Amino acid sequence: MRAELGPGNFIEYETFGSAHNPCILLIMGLATSLLAWREEFCNMLVERGYFVVRFDNRDVGLSKHWDEEFGAPPLIRRALALTLLGRFCPRISSPYTLSDMGADAFGLLDHLKVERAHLVGASLGGMIAQTMALDEPDRVASLCSISSTTGARNLPGGEFSLRLRLLKRPRTSSYKDRSDHLLNTLNLVCHPAPLSPDTPEYVSKAVHRNPFKPTSNARQLNAVIAQADRTHRLSSLALPCLVVHGSDDRLVPLAHGEATARAIGGDTRTLVIKGMGHVMTSEYYQQVVDAIVSNAKRTMGQDGLGER
């Protein structure tokens, strides 16, 4: 389904469960489509009484790609080079910001007539969710930040060799090369946990569905690099917050999740999952769903599930 957000801008999305139930909005990470929120995970949240929405961020999947508006080649070289600098990476300008990506998500909620939602974001999605909660706190019932960060430059960087390998592109745009590349990427970011059993099916669907546009990935990466450190602003959040992080995350080390929890402060909950890498695989779904639901139920001191 498509939500038209304004002239030339649209977001692709899917929903699960009854629209009469409180909404959980799932926000995915860099260059990754809504399919990464697997149906099994979405349905587990539906069974707990929620209306679940997953969507493609801008410049991903079937949502609007901004090539015509913003162009690309210098952007790609700059983004990729700066990524390797880690904590020494300077702030840069960007065609759009994480706040713009958050505004897309709020626009989707408007399209669905959802006044207030529980936000669950993974990696870049966690950064977007944090930014949304800071930009429009009255519209956020609770926040769950998974495998994400505050954006502080003084935190330890991920393994350099891993980041270097992840920056490689498929040899060609063929289905086989793109499938092999995605499978290799998943092995790297899920390590040391085994891949979910449905990974072959996911890879096939993702490659068939998603256009091959490296320039889109670079624009998202620029938005990450451009945003200021959120550490001090996060302390202003006054809503139920949960930070989830894998003990073995080699891309965004556990220190980033710990820093996020400290920055928010208050009664923020932290779930460190032993053996989990950067990406949540199916063996961890139950733990994470339980934690999300428990955190969401703290909204306004209710048993319930927040508001529409």
Q: Is residue 59's pLDDT more than 80?
A: yes
Q: State the average pLDDT for the chain.
A: 91
Write down the pLDDT at residue 168. Answer: 83
Residue 150 CA to chain centroid, in angstroms?
Answer: 13
With cut-offs at 50, 70 and 90, classify the pLDDT of residue 87. low
- CB of 120 closer than 8 Å to CB of 292: yes
Which is it for the CA torsion 196, 198, 203, 209, positive or negative? negative
Mean pLDDT on 34-48: 99
Pairing type for strands 23-27 and 117-122 reads parallel
The b-or-e profile of 203-215 (16+ CB within 10 A means b, else e) is beebbeebeebeb
Q: Which of 57-66, 69-78, 81-90, 297-306 has the highest mean pLDDT?
A: 57-66
Mean pLDDT on 120-143: 98
Maximum CA extent, the chain: 53
Mean pLDDT on 280-300: 96
Task: Give me the residues paired with residue 53 across strands.
Answer: 15, 25
Residue 172 neighbours by CB under 8 Å, 6+ apart: none
2-301: in CATH 3.40.50.1820 = yes
Q: Is residue 78's pLDDT more than 90?
A: no
Mean pLDDT on 276-297: 98
Dihedral Cα 222, 146, 229, 256, nearest 10 deg: -110
Mean pLDDT on 221-237: 92
Residue 262 tokens, joined:
């400290």
Angle of CA points 9, 11, 14, to nearest 5°: 165
- CB of 51 closer than 8 Å to CB of 20: yes
- CB of 130 closer than 8 Å to CB of 148: yes
Write down the pLDDT at residue 103. Answer: 99
Each domain of the chain, given as residue ranges in start order, spans 2-301
Share of the chain above pLDDT 90, in %: 76
This prediction's pTM: 0.94
CA dist 262 and 231 (Å) reads 9
